[in-house]
Amino acid sequence: MILSRASSLYRWNIDRTLAPLLLLAGLLCTAILLLIVLFLSKEAWPVLANGGWRAFIADNGWYPREGLFGLLPMLAASLVVMLGAITLAAPVGLGCAIFLQFYSPPVLRRGFRLLLSLLAGMPSVVLGLWGLTVLVPLVARWQPPGTSLLTAILVLAMMIVPTMALAGAAALSLVPAEMISGAAALGMGPRSRILYVAVPAARRGMLSGVLLSMARALGETMVLLMVAGNVVQYPHGLLEPVRALTANIALEMAYATDLHRAGLFASGLLLTLLVLVLAGFAARSLRYG
Amino acid sequence: MAERLFTWTIWLSAALVAAALVWVIGDLVRLGMAHLSLDFLLSVPRDAGRSGGIGPILVSTVLIIGVTLAVALPLGLMAAVWLAEFTTRGNALGNAIRLSLDVMAGVPSIVFGLFGNAFFSIYLGMGFSILSGGLTLACMVLPVFIRTSEMGLAAVSDAWRHGASALGMTRSAAIWHILLPAASPAIGAGIMLGIGRATAETAALIFTSGYVDRMPESLLDSGRSLAVHIYDLSMNVTGGDAAAHAAALVLIALIVVFNLLAQWLTDRWLHRRLIA
């Protein structure tokens, strides 16, 4: 920051008015977060009060009209879909990152980057539409109904691959060139240089990319709503339909009232908490490794 | 042998991602192109969207994004300038604001939808309206926009600030005439990210701006955005697939156009302020 004395040429000292005004804007942005927490808690309070949250774990099944709020099956579905998508997308993302950084001819590099950012910017509702009209019928030919854990994992993996690839490439580009040429001088081939020198050196950035993708996958609504089948049950087969927490909110908000509505807001709070923990770990891994 | 296998694996993973994108875009074009026409863009949806067009929906989409930008741009730019120019390193208040922005950036979009419904639609009494949808999206895009702009401003060399104060410029003048134009590529990138997210967003809008597909008469009318229209056609309207694919093509085109426009505007701004 540079502290300069105000110009004496102006009669009206605008600088003195500007700083508080700008600070006010910053505080307003912080107030939004407080409002979000406040209103989520306020709406969820009827369920959270008096230990009602225990129903989330104890109740057998999600039948809000009968007062049963067991959301463990949906939580399990959310987590399984996320882990499946990460397991599929992580190796491919790593491969793309290595391709961008070490293997791609300069002509292809720009184009491939563009392609990744196009895929990253693809609206999730469009990917969901594609999954629903193309992928689901393909899976259904094999085993109906087609809307299943598997389709959700596949579409979600497509959605997060570019994030991982771009984060991975950024992390790899920060590895000092001397380190890699040093490895070459020791007689290591390109494969060992990349796998045993560059990738371990870039692991922090890569881990942070993976954690951020996990957060994104967990918070994703449209894809899961459109291709996962929305049947509330524990995921016990790749071809079984499941319902994720996010999809549940989108499905039931339209008609939920009273306790039911409160239950949905509470599940929103839970979701936020999970995502924030992941994002927090991502920031930490960047800072401390 | 191991080397060659590794090379093949790397090329294969890149080819896989490229093939996936080509597959998606190819299918969208194949299934939606026939339905796409000038008439489709301009006319009103008929028969729940199976036939007719997306005219009112495009208008609602642009209005929602307009509200989002009208709120997020000035507010975000002011906050970014404060963070970059008026805080010292380790300023507790500045760090608190940054932390809260980072937390906000992680909140899932469906949760923004819940918040928007409870706060804007019900508490502030805006109902299902373009205004409450746009404001919800503004909350959603603010953190990314602020952090990108702040980084752009922080990257401007201190020599420019020294030069400005040596010339006796007020800090306000230095910010407006020198620092903001110098940071405009980053600010443009922030706007681009924000518009891209706002245009693609569905989950946060279903319960804030609503489903009504008539031509909106004011900002307090409910308006269906293009993304919500695609969702509704594919999930709730049997036989709406062709129209949904055509709408998806329009949505992708819209995002690309917004990106190019933001790029062009920032280039022009930078050019006029710094070079001319």
How high is the pLDDT of residue B241? 87
Q: Give the H/E segment covering residue B28.
A: helix B2-32
Residue of A nearest to B141 (CA): A29
Q: Which residues of chain A are within 8 Å of residue B202 when distances are taken between CB atoms?
A: 123-125, 221-222
Chain A interface, mutation test: which of B115, B121, B146, most A Cβ atoms within 10 Å?
Answer: B115
Say if B13 falls within a structural domain: no
E runs forming strands in chain A: 62-63, 68-69
How high is the pLDDT of residue A47? 83
**CA-based end-to-end distance of chain A:** 30
Chain B interface, mutation test: which of A10, A22, A286, most B Cβ atoms within 10 Å?
Answer: A22
Do B56 and B222 meet the contact criterion of CB atoms below 8 Å apart? no
Do B34 and B43 meet the contact criterion of CB atoms below 8 Å apart? no
**B17 — contact with chain A (CB < 8 Å)?**
yes
List the domains of chain A with CATH numbers.
70-287 (1.10.3720.10)
CA gap A146, A140 in Å, rounded: 4
How high is the pLDDT of residue B267? 73
> CA torsion angle for A19, A21, A23, A26 (degrees, to 10)?
-140
The SS3 call for residue A79 is helix
How high is the pLDDT of residue B181? 87
CA gap A199, A102 in Å, rounded: 12
How high is the pLDDT of residue B276? 42
**B211 — contact with chain A (CB < 8 Å)?**
no
Is B262 or A113 the better-scoring residue by pLDDT?
Answer: A113
The SS3 call for residue B54 is coil
Residues 54-73 of B with CB under 8 A from A: none
Could you give the angle at which helices B109-116 and A203-219 cross, rounded to 10 degrees?
40
Say if B3 falls within a structural domain: no
pLDDT of residue A10 exceeding 70, the answer is no
The SS3 call for residue B128 is coil
Could you list the residue range(s) of the whole structural domain that residue B176 is in? 36-275
* Angle value at C-alpha A83, between A166 and B228, nearest 5 degrees: 70
Q: If pLDDT is split at 50, 70 and 90, which confidence band does A8 have? A: low
**B180 — contact with chain A (CB < 8 Å)?**
no
From the list A234, A261, A193, the residue with the least C-alpha distance to A73 is A234
pLDDT digits (tens, 9 = 90+) for A27-52: 999 999 999 999 999 999 988 886 77
From the list A226, A273, A181, A209, the residue with the least C-alpha distance to B235 is A226
Q: If pLDDT is split at 50, 70 and 90, which confidence band does A11 have? A: low
Task: Name the minimum distance, in Å, from the CA of A132 to any CA of chain B.
Answer: 8
Do B164 and B180 meet the contact criterion of CB atoms below 8 Å apart? no
How high is the pLDDT of residue A289? 46
CA gap A163, A154 in Å, rounded: 15
Is A8 or B143 the better-scoring residue by pLDDT?
Answer: B143
DSSP secondary structure string for all residues of B206-237: HTTT-S--SPP-STTS----HHHHHHHHHHH-
Q: Which residues of chain A are within 8 Å of residue B242 when distances are taken between CB atoms?
A: none
Say if B223 falls within a structural domain: yes
pLDDT digits (tens, 9 = 90+) for A180-224: 999 999 999 889 999 999 999 999 889 988 998 999 999 999 999
Q: Count the domains in chain B.
A: 1
Structure tokens at B106: 């992680």
- The pLDDT tens digits along chain B (276 residues) read 888 999 999 999 999 999 999 999 999 999 988 888 888 888 888 888 888 889 999 999 999 999 999 999 999 999 999 999 888 878 889 888 998 998 898 899 999 999 999 999 999 999 999 999 999 999 999 999 999 899 889 888 899 999 998 998 888 888 988 899 888 888 888 888 888 889 999 999 999 998 888 888 888 888 899 999 999 999 888 888 889 999 999 999 998 888 787 777 777 766 655 554
Structure tokens at A79: 């987590």
How high is the pLDDT of residue A49? 81
Q: What is the mean pLDDT of residues A106-116?
A: 89
How high is the pLDDT of residue A250? 92
From the list B224, B228, B222, B230, the residue with the least C-alpha distance to B132 is B222
Kindly determine whether residue B16 and residue A92, on different chains, have CB atoms separated by under 8 Å: yes
How high is the pLDDT of residue A226? 93
Cβ within 8 Å of residue B182, ≥6 positions away: B156, B160, B270, B274
Say if B11 falls within a structural domain: no
CATH of residue B180: 1.10.3720.10
Least CB–CB distance from A126: residue in B3, B165, B230: B230
ipTM given for this complex? 0.89
Do A38 and A31 meet the contact criterion of CB atoms below 8 Å apart? no
Kindly determine whether residue A119 and residue B100, on different chains, have CB atoms separated by under 8 Å: no
Kindly determine whether residue B110 and residue A246, on different chains, have CB atoms separated by under 8 Å: yes
From the list A247, A223, A70, the residue with the least C-alpha distance to B110 is A247
Kindly determine whether residue B142 and residue A116, on different chains, have CB atoms separated by under 8 Å: no
Chain A interface, mutation test: which of B5, B9, B24, most A Cβ atoms within 10 Å?
Answer: B24
Kindly determine whether residue B161 and residue A246, on different chains, have CB atoms separated by under 8 Å: no
